[in-house]
Structure 1
């Protein structure tokens, strides 16, 4: 990413800051509940050690087309919020898994006619929301509230967590577990069309990042998904009127960890990725690597060799495509 991310320039109350453990946690939030949760997190004074009672206007978490439905269901929603738990999975040094279940809200209150929702996080949420100095993720609440699918919002958070790496891979099993889809869309085609593709289209239209992806298979069985994360300049440009996005000065930390295959796939469209087989990718890579070696006869550094391999991969693909 060559441009500074929007969340670094926004007012603190417009930014959601969550521990990565919280983003990877499993939960059963509906779309409205996800929005309330994120909006409450954005309101936090993250330098304090306690959670105050906070309030948000109901109109902020709904649009005009569904506001009447939200007001009608607000009693049900507040009841569910105080009952909601998140499940955090960790692994100790011996490889043993630990499951920690945490109630999110200790109190939720709505008074008819005021149009605001009051809530307070439980003390158990403190390690995941307050005084975070490492392993956390930031994003703009404005962008999060644009999304209309709960799967889009969950996938958006996961991808923001790995935005600087430009790609992330997870097993199909883990993907299902994090999104609470163990018992839905059991055939992968349904999961792909109803969850992954819908989220891809919505993020491309509304978010500051979007993704393309490649399905990893063992034989014919889908076992993993590689997500390639891209900055969505069109959406960022739309927000520039209200939020300036200056160019950074750059520095030593900008050095990339080069991987010619991943760099090549990041530049492909979703249609091209879908048509590209693993065998074809390996053949293009091997041919490009051999060309780069022949061109340099061992004189180049490893980084330059990788850059040239990537360039040859694009040249081979352009000739064959």
Structure 2
């Protein structure tokens, strides 16, 4: 199950909801069982998804904490039905719904079976564009529910080629589902933001830096800058991914010679310079370790076309 993919509409990724980490584990383990592709079998309100204690234990528990898996899964099953999500729609409309329409805890089989709510299914199935996808295994080492939420949002931004993002603190609170909590900035910073950033940096393939903006004496916004590990040489002096450096690298004649036949490049990308440059820019930012024939700085020393 750890190689399963979690896919969500971007609208759901940035929606407002609050879950415990155990409820989040149960939800993601079920979401990862959905084939979200447009031509996949249709998932309906009658479709059932089952997760066992053993699966949860293998995914999310280490060492002595494994003995808590049964208790935690039962508690998550007890409360997940009550959890709501608020999704912003067009025309200033909002959708308020639940994640699931039913949750059945089966103690004799040590498992939970759930059905997704009708209104949430369009955000999990038949996804054609504007969605975020990652491996379930990418988040299993994150113990903070806020770290998982921030990780999903970062993957969402990266999919839109956005490597630095500034949010008003109230907007950030909304997405994290903590509008009524951590109103004092120091609590929000220490218990939500810094904890999430630290766990992402230690346990995922992203490096994230965070800064804050003050207006007079009040903190108003937070800025996240991030890049894939292996791309530190592609950052600027402020720690953000430098798109200018990437553009210069891919336009190097040596880079073209090194990677014109790269397996990740489409036939179209090999037929014209413009298509090659555009695709290579995207791939370097997303998967820098795929381009390891020589240090990136070597290409910056070479005159570009």
Q: Same fold (TM over 0.5)?
A: yes
5 Å-filtered alignment, 1:154-303, equals 154-163=149-158, 164-233=161-230, 248-249=264-265, 251-254=276-279
Structure 2 counterpart of 1:121 = 116
Query: How far apart are residue 173 of structure 1 and its match?
Result: 0.7
Question: Is the alpha carbon distance of 1:130 and 1:187 closer, same or farther for their aligned partners in structure 2, counting shifts above 3 Å?
Answer: same
Q: Is the 8 A contact 2:15 2:175 kept in 1?
A: yes
Query: Residue 5 of structure 2 is aligned with which of 3, 15, 19?
Result: 15
Contact 1:48 1:130 in 2 (8 A): no
Shift in alpha-carbon separation, 1:122–1:186, aligned structure 2, 3 A? closer
| Pair 228,17 (structure 1): closer, same or farther in 2 beyond 3 Å | same
Shift of 1:116: 2.6
1:76 aligns with 2:69: no
Structure 2 gap segments, 5+ residues each: 232-261, 270-275, 283-299, 301-305
* CA contact 1:172–1:224 (8 Å) conserved in 2: yes
The answer to whether the aligner puts 1:27 opposite 2:17 as a matched pair is yes
Distance change in 2, residues 1:32/1:68 (3 Å): same
Aligned partners of 1:247, 1:169: CA distance in 2, in Å? Answer: 35
What secondary structure, in the 3-state scheme, does the structure 2 residue paired with 1:43 have? coil
Partner of 1:43: 33
Could you say what the CA RMSD is over the residues aligned between the two structures, in angstroms?
A: 2.8
**Structure 1 position 256, deviation (Å):** 6.1
State the Cα distance separating 1:126 from its structure 2 match.
1.9
Counterpart of 2:51? 56
TM-score (norm 1): 0.66
Aligned length: 235
